[in-house]
Chain A
Amino acid sequence: RKEVEQDPGPFNVPEGATVAFNCTYSNSASQSFFWYRQDCRKEPKLLMSVYSSGNEDGRFTAQLNRASQYISLLIRDSKLSDSATYLCVVNGGYSTLTFGKGTMLLVSP
């Protein structure tokens, strides 16, 4: 049962590139959506929540399409420090979250 699916990756991009991650979810009743960032061997950290109208935080833009049950994350002007695994997360009911497997991003000089 795959409830949150992400691009398998890894994505290898040069510094300064724009990269987009895609995610689909199966639970049409989900109401909350997030992108988390996880560095190697560390805990996940909230990158941004995703709102229906789309939202932007600096170089990061998140979009939600409820009809298609699709979430995206766009990173502009990639930095070396953006190298990490990006987790798509959807609320799963009863105060729980469902995590995708993540997409690894490697930004090279």
Chain B
Amino acid sequence: DGGITQSPKYLFRKEGQNVTLSCEQNLNHDAMYWYRQDPGQGLRLIYYSQIVNDFQKGDIAEGYSVSREKKESFPLTVTSAQKNPTAFYLCASKEDPGGDTQYFGPGTRLTVL
């Protein structure tokens, strides 16, 4: 089965702690993306990567970091510098080049206690 997996599905963390969200895809897609979604809001782009070992900031990168050491993996770290980290985090991927359609993983719901 080809697809995008994210883990964990639910994550709780204490204020001041860093936490890393996993995103893996076996679709052989070049480009990967991280979004954040807050209740009643659209998806906002955090970071994206079009190729291994390269990534760019999206609209709301402050307080987040990423790495892209392998084509299949694009982990997101939510640092203690992120002021409002509680949100639904979605990872997506797409072939690049080859259209703009992005496919999403099931998401991780992060709650800061």
Among B31, B42, B90, contact of A102 (Cβ-Cβ < 8 Å): B42
Judge whether A44 and B43 touch: CB under 8 Å: yes
Among A31, A34, A96, contact of B58 (Cβ-Cβ < 8 Å): A96
Set of chain B residues within 8 Å of A97, measured between Cβ atoms: 45, 100, 102
Among B48, B88, B99, B106, contact of A96 (Cβ-Cβ < 8 Å): B48
Q: Please encode chain B, from 93 to 107, with 1 for each CB lying within 8 Å of some chain A CB and 0 for all others.
A: 010100111111111
Among B42, B100, B103, B104, contact of A4 (Cβ-Cβ < 8 Å): B42
A-B contact count, CB below 8 Å?
47
Among A95, A99, A100, contact of B96 (Cβ-Cβ < 8 Å): A95
The yes or no answer to A32 lying at the interface (CB within 8 A) is: yes
Interface residues, chain A, with chain B CB atoms under 8 Å away: 4, 31-32, 34, 41-46, 49, 87, 91, 94-97, 99-102
Judge whether A44 and B96 touch: CB under 8 Å: no
Set of chain A residues within 8 Å of B40, measured between Cβ atoms: 101
Number of contact residues on B: which range applies?
A: 20 to 34
Interface residues, chain B, with chain A CB atoms under 8 Å away: 31, 33, 35, 40-43, 45, 48, 50, 56, 58, 88, 90, 94, 96, 99-107, 109
The CA-CA distance from A101 to B100 in the complex, in Å, is 19
Beyond A87-B42, A97-B102, 12 additional contacts (C-beta under 8 Å) are: A34-B100, A41-B88, A41-B109, A42-B106, A42-B107, A43-B107, A49-B101, A91-B100, A95-B100, A96-B45, A97-B45, A101-B40
Judge whether A43 and B105 touch: CB under 8 Å: yes
The CA-CA distance from A97 to B92 in the complex, in Å, is 11
The CA-CA distance from A100 to B45 in the complex, in Å, is 12
